[in-house]
Structure 1
Amino acid sequence: MAKHIIQRIVMAALTATCMGAATPASANTEVETAELLIKLLQVGRGVISEHQATINDASKGDKGFTGDFVSNQVIERFRKATKIDLSRPATVPQAPLYLAMVESEKEVIDEMQPVINKQGVGFKGVIPAVFARKSGERFYRKTGIRVKLTGTDYRFPGNRPDEFESEVLRIFADTRHPKGQPYSKATMLDGKPVLRMMDPEYAASTCLSCHGDPKGERDITGAKKEGWHEGDLAGAISIVIPMR
């Protein structure tokens, strides 16, 4: 999809958001909305993971790994995974919210261009976890919906699980809980009704270079490895959507 078309779609959707068209979902749709927002973040992280070698190529300057490239990839992969075509937002309920997430992901990569394209530097620190955190922060400022990574072995202080998240992580760690099944609950937060959802995440082979064995060894980021094995519970994506 051409760059100017993506920009037009996203800007139209964000204008609708500002006008109130993206008010958080009503009671019969917020679970689906939460699931799809989580999916968009997962798709974006997948794009970052697959292009890690390109991002960290110290010999190359302009890599073409731009916000437009990422947003194109996210929209196309999301369409293939869900059959929802965000390039036709008029046909998609809650499209302004979903495109606000796409725009947040685009902005993060645009902001990182000087780092991504810097020659002579290998590891850039542009990794899926950082991408997800920054995208979630931007998305919250746009929409008031909180999306974050969390887990028992959190590294960034902002990813520390709260009481609700800690309890759900214990549920996910219980072998009786069906692997991969999300958990959602309508509850109160700060005196207001919200839907809370968490989607469990498991260690893939690509995670182990930073989070695998030997436990306690420093990885490329300088943090200590957790000693995970492929398939271990790595944490969850947590989302909080205000309810009407």
Structure 2
Amino acid sequence: MNRFNALLFSLLLSLAAPPGFSQATTEALADEGERLAALLRVGRRVVSNNQTLINDPDRGDKGLDSAAFLAKVDAAYRAQHGQGPLDGDLSDTQRRLTEAQLAAMATVLDENQELINSEGLGFKGFIPAIFGRLVNEQFAEQVGSEARLKVTAPMHLVRNRKARPDDWEAGVFNGQFSQPDWPRSQAFFETVATGEGEMFRMLIPEYYGETCLTCHGGPKGEVDVTGFPKEGAAAGDLAGAISITLKRE
């Protein structure tokens, strides 16, 4: 994080903390959100890196059961962050939510073994976006309103109705993230009052990489392998965001 981003992060921390929420509490919530997003991203990347294997029509058992998948996730997370997702000085809440997220990934892999191992079928549709949505749904079943993750995007980029932004997310897309001077990859967060109590909300922008352009690049309007028209995006364009909601009593 450069000096400017560090200063902005500190400012956002102070602005996001309402009465009853200290800056230290807000910082802990922001760190918790970043950790959840980081693990989700690693899981999606493992799915992406294994697309050729998953879509191999000539091979049955892909050797990608939940145990093998979680081993790949752990290795990829260690390579990026220097330690495993459950290593380090985690709070009880961080450990519980991380374990729930890993369990959600295992459940998704277990429930999709028949599809992944189907012989004679090429493209399976088990892609990072689908994996991410299914994991987030499983995670929600385990932790309830304590924490929620969602991958969303500006309305003109949404392909699945479940990914549509709510009013708060749309406001950030049309506000902060649309500003030309908003620092790349900088999350926006604040605490908002809801019918469920005070919620810490965080939106972490994501951008198209080169591998995304197979489905989301050009030519614009051409139907991709998933059956959707391509957006005509370029690498580095805003693709969407990971939305995180954390509840504290």
TM range (shorter): 0.7 to 0.9
Q: CA deviation at 1:189?
A: 2.7
Counterpart of 2:177 in structure 1: which amino acid? F
- CA–CA separation in structure 2 for the residues paired with 1:215 and 1:110: 36
Partner in structure 1 of residue 152 of structure 2: 150
Partner SS, residue 246 of structure 2: strand
* 1:66-145 map, 5 Å: 66-86=65-85, 88=87, 91-93=89-91, 94-144=94-144, 145=147
Partner in structure 2 of residue 215 of structure 1: 220
Of 198, 202, 209 in structure 2, the residue corresponding to residue 197 of structure 1 is 202
Distance 1:159 1:63, change over 3 A: same
Counterpart of 2:183 in structure 1: which amino acid? P
Q: CA deviation at 1:191?
A: 4.3
- CA–CA separation in structure 1 for the residues paired with 2:230 and 2:195: 35
Contact 1:86 1:92 survives alignment (8 Å): no
Distance 1:79 1:92, change over 3 A: farther
- CA–CA separation in structure 1 for the residues paired with 2:66 and 2:106: 4
Partner in structure 2 of residue 32 of structure 1: 31
Contact 2:39 2:85 survives alignment (8 Å): no
Counterpart of 1:158 in structure 2: which amino acid? K
Contact 2:221 2:230 survives alignment (8 Å): yes
Answer yes or no: is 1:159 the counterpart of 2:158: no
Partner in structure 1 of residue 21 of structure 2: none
Q: CA deviation at 1:167?
A: 1.4
- CA–CA separation in structure 1 for the residues paired with 2:199 and 2:74: 27
Counterpart of 1:207 in structure 2: which amino acid? C
- CA–CA separation in structure 2 for the residues paired with 1:232 and 1:117: 34
Q: CA deviation at 1:162?
A: 0.7
Counterpart of 2:244 in structure 1: which amino acid? I
Counterpart of 2:229 in structure 1: which amino acid? K
Answer yes or no: is 1:177 the counterpart of 2:185: no
* 1:220-239 map, 5 Å: 220-239=225-244
Partner SS, residue 197 of structure 1: strand
Partner SS, residue 29 of structure 1: helix
Partner in structure 2 of residue 60 of structure 1: 59
Question: Identity, % of aligned pairs?
Answer: 38
- Post-superposition CA distance 1:95-154 (Å, at most 9, x none): 121111011011111111100100111100000000000000000111122111100211
- CA–CA separation in structure 2 for the residues paired with 1:85 and 1:118: 32
Greater mean deviation of Cα atoms: 28-37 or 132-141: 28-37
- CA–CA separation in structure 2 for the residues paired with 1:113 and 1:221: 20
Contact 2:29 2:246 survives alignment (8 Å): yes
What are structure 1's unaligned runs of at least 5 residues?
Answer: 1-25
Partner SS, residue 170 of structure 2: helix
Query: When the two structures are superposed, what TM-score results if normalisation uses the length of structure 2?
Result: 0.83
- CA–CA separation in structure 2 for the residues paired with 1:188 and 1:134: 28
Contact 1:173 1:233 survives alignment (8 Å): no
Q: CA deviation at 1:87?
A: 5.1
Q: CA deviation at 1:31?
A: 1.2
Q: In the comparison of the two structures, how many residue pairs are matched?
A: 219
Partner in structure 2 of residue 19 of structure 1: none
- Post-superposition CA distance 1:47-106 (Å, at most 9, x none): 0111111110111100111111221122232233334434558x5222121111011011
